[in-house]
Chains A and B, each alone.
Chain A
């Protein structure tokens, strides 16, 4: 692999991992919101 491949891997790996983690949190948050009472999910 040349330098460019390592650089692309670094950027894609970083943002891809953060995006996957963010999607996981948001999806789980939506699911959890469905079973929690309204007064426990009023964000300011």
Chain B
């Protein structure tokens, strides 16, 4: 299996030489992992100490240094899920199915953190944790859609059926992203205007702007690191299930020939 040089097993087996790692780690993940840690340390220093409070948002801008990168990483994760889903329906390859599922799971985590940070910011700014206004409502729909995607994958069925059904959901669900993103433009609401994809707050300058982009970079590297590990775990889980199935069949055959 040599579909991808970073994510999947190489398949280049060398009999008698035990070089296979006992975990999902590799040189690539170690580099990404250490880069993430250094980036997080820098982000903490810049985000909590060096950057000054914002003229309008005050100290609450420090919550946005978490909120914006997590939602950006979540969007990237969901787009990868859609690409993986399309590729799976086209190629019927396990690689694309597992990549789509792994990315969706991490996307859900980052999106949950986006909502969590947004609620904290809303409590300070609006006085309430939650309002059913357009951006938050479409956000909820998006979050529930991907929770549904993960729930569907847990339904016991064949790998092909699971892959096909979840791929269709993965493709349909991504349509929610532009709706959620544009909700602040299309409908009047409480949420401030969009702050990513070309419109990082135009008032931002200097260290504030640097910290905003540092956060985006750190969370994208962190996402890549998590995705590789999660994909490899999914891969190992599939192999382990195949192995236990093979063993169960062999056991039944042995019982049959003995009786």
Contacts of B26 in A (CB 8 A): 43-44
Pairs A–B under 8 Å by Cβ, sample size 22: A3-B60, A7-B60, A7-B62, A10-B66, A10-B121, A14-B66, A14-B116, A14-B117, A15-B40, A21-B106, A29-B25, A29-B229, A36-B236, A36-B239, A37-B239, A41-B21, A41-B232, A42-B11, A42-B13, A44-B5, A44-B6, A44-B10
Decide yes or no whether B160 CB sits under 8 A from chain A.
Answer: no
Q: Which of A9, A30, A37, A40 contacts B22 (CB 8 A)?
A: A30
Query: How many A-B contacts at CB < 8 Å in the complex?
Result: 135
Decide yes or no whether B79 CB sits under 8 A from chain A.
Answer: no
Would you call the interface of chain A mostly helix, strand, loop, or mixed?
helix
8 Å CB interface, A22-44 against B: 22, 25-26, 28-30, 32-44
B66 to chain A, nearest CB (A): 5
| Alpha-carbon distance between A25 and B2 when the two chains are bound, in angstroms | 23
Please report B residues at the A interface, Cβ cutoff 8 Å. Answer: 2, 5-6, 8-13, 18-26, 28, 40, 44, 47-48, 58-60, 62-63, 66-67, 70, 106, 109, 112-113, 116-117, 120-121, 123-124, 222, 225-226, 229-230, 232-233, 235-237, 239-240, 243
Contact A42 B10 (CB under 8 A): yes
Chain A residue with the shortest CB-CB distance to B61? A7
Q: Which of B10, B44, B124 contacts A43 (CB 8 A)?
A: B10
Contacts of A3 in B (CB 8 A): 58-60, 124
Q: Which of B21, B67, B109 contacts A18 (CB 8 A)?
A: B109
| In the complex with contacts A10-B117, A38-B13, A25-B124 CB distance below 8 A | no
| Alpha-carbon distance between A43 and B239 when the two chains are bound, in angstroms | 14
Contact A33 B226 (CB under 8 A): no
Contact B240 A6 (CB under 8 A): no
| Alpha-carbon distance between A25 and B232 when the two chains are bound, in angstroms | 9
Chain A residue with the shortest CB-CB distance to B106? A21
Contact B12 A32 (CB under 8 A): no
| In the complex with contacts A7-B63, A25-B24, A32-B233 CB distance below 8 A | yes
Contacts of B124 in A (CB 8 A): 3, 6
B108 to chain A, nearest CB (A): 10
* Given A3-B124, A29-B233, A32-B239, 19 extra CB contacts under 8 A: A3-B60, A6-B121, A7-B48, A11-B47, A14-B113, A14-B117, A18-B226, A25-B230, A28-B237, A29-B229, A30-B24, A36-B240, A39-B20, A41-B9, A41-B232, A41-B236, A42-B11, A42-B20, A44-B28
Chain B residue with the shortest CB-CB distance to A25? B229
B97 to chain A, nearest CB (A): 17
Q: Which of B11, B19, B58, B229 contacts A26 (CB 8 A)?
A: B229
